[in-house]
Amino acid sequence: MRVVLGVAGGIAAYKACSVLRLLTEAGHEVTVVPTAAALRFVGAPTWEALSGRPVSADVFDGVPEVRHVRLGQEADLVLVAPATADLLARAAHGLADDLLTNTLLTARCPVVLAPAMHTEMWSHPATVANVEMLRGRGVTVVEPASGRLTGKDSGPGRLPDPEDIVAQALAAHSRTGPGSARRRIRPGASAGDLAGRRVVVSAGGTREPLDPVRFLGNRSSGKQGYAVAAAAVARGAEVTLVSANVTLPPPAGCRVVPVETALELQEAVRAAVAEWTDVVVMTAAVADFRPARYASSKIKKTHGEDDRSAPTIELVRNPDILAGLVADRAGAASPYIVGFAAETGDESGDVVHHARAKLARKGCDLLVANEVGVGKTFGQDESTVHLLVPGSDEVRTVGPVGKDVVAGAVWDVVVPALADRGTAD
């Protein structure tokens, strides 16, 4: 396969040498296209020696063979690692002021960008908007790792390990490149990395009625679920949004199924899954209990002089819908199941400790643990989440970031896992 390896001007450029080695050793023909700034970190002779090909950052080299257009046109995969904030901005806005950005504009193959930068730059609204725009166009933007950055600080922004980058790039190629036509692509659907996938997202919070005017509810706003659904639509999925008592406008392009109670939500999710679903994301806050009895007329206070009595409300357990979906799975065609969990740390362990135990109990494929507490998560625009998958001690922490960024991070974990499982049909 013909790969263009773009390298932007960040200190992580040295790690791109390992990315290049992994690609060439796997038998790919790799042309390295550094930016001028990247060449200040790692020189052209290093790239030329490792790739066995000439290297240039300049559109005025190789003019007779129209190199600034040919490289992109002929590539089977374009991978940029590291992608700086500046490169993301130029790519998002279609600038073409050097050979790499020209290549990005002319490429019609899968494009994978692996950002690396300081946390402040990664979480800046300008970068967040650029990433969103790129993902909306079907570009795979790999979620940066969290950890030690250049200098004393640490946080999200590290370039992931070269093995990880190569695995995600090759997965993106097998998903969206030629030869991946087994998936059902709807006419007019965007060619994102979820094209041809069917996704069910539950959002909001259930209400369990006591009588015609009262219910037991919770504080879920539905923002996170709506962001997950919107991101899936932007990446090309066909999305059913099972929406429990959310007042937000639903994202364009979703099929919305409104529900009120946990039992209705279970019914709607099951019906959607029965049709054929690749992924279920349970972001909804589902009531664990409901009143044992529904009073068909309003429960009244008594009006006796000294009567201070109040009714006792008996509760019964609701089904655990997520655990039920996991239990119902049969074989390879079963959907990939994502759970969300609101967690707080306590004296017996921190948020991640409790989340790991919950992942084991629920048996889902990915657990997204929200840190909750006073002023955290519910109804807020930003949250911090920890993403955990079974069989790995690795925890991906994202935040505090907007819920749309959390949504992107969730899909960045799910999409490669779907590719590893093969296609749905």
Residues that bind ligand C5P (CB under 6 A): 262, 282, 284, 286, 288, 318, 320-322, 339-341
Strand 366-371 vs strand 336-343: parallel, antiparallel, or unpaired?
A: parallel
Pairing verdict, β 215-216 and 208-209: antiparallel
As given in the structure block, the two tokens for residue 276 are 């054929």
Give the residues across from 202 on adjacent strands: 242, 282
Alpha-carbon span 101 to 94, nearest angstrom: 8
Torsion of CA 379, 380, 382, 386, to 10 degrees: -50
**Is the backbone of residue 121 left (phi > 0), alpha (psi -120 to 50) or beta?**
alpha
Q: Any catalytic annotation for residue 218?
A: yes
CA distances from 123 to 306, 344, 362, 375, 406 (A): 60, 24, 31, 20, 11
Task: Count CB neighbours of 103 within 10 A.
Answer: 26
266 in Cβ contact with 321 (< 8 Å) = yes
Of the residues 218, 245, 318, 370, which is catalytic?
218
Measured CA to CA, the distance from residue 409 to residue 87 in angstroms comes to 20
Contacts of 34 (CB under 8 A, 6+ apart): 6, 7, 8, 9, 13, 42, 44, 47, 55, 57, 100
Distance, CA of 138 to CA of 112 (rounded, Å): 9
What is the chain's length?
Answer: 425
- Pick from 23, 25, 10, 33: nearest CA to 107: 33
Q: How far apart are CA 59 and CA 417, in angstroms?
A: 37
Q: How far apart are CA 31 and CA 62, in angstroms?
A: 14
- DSSP letter at 379 equals T
Quick one: DSSP state of residue 70? Answer: H
Q: Which residues are catalytic?
A: 218
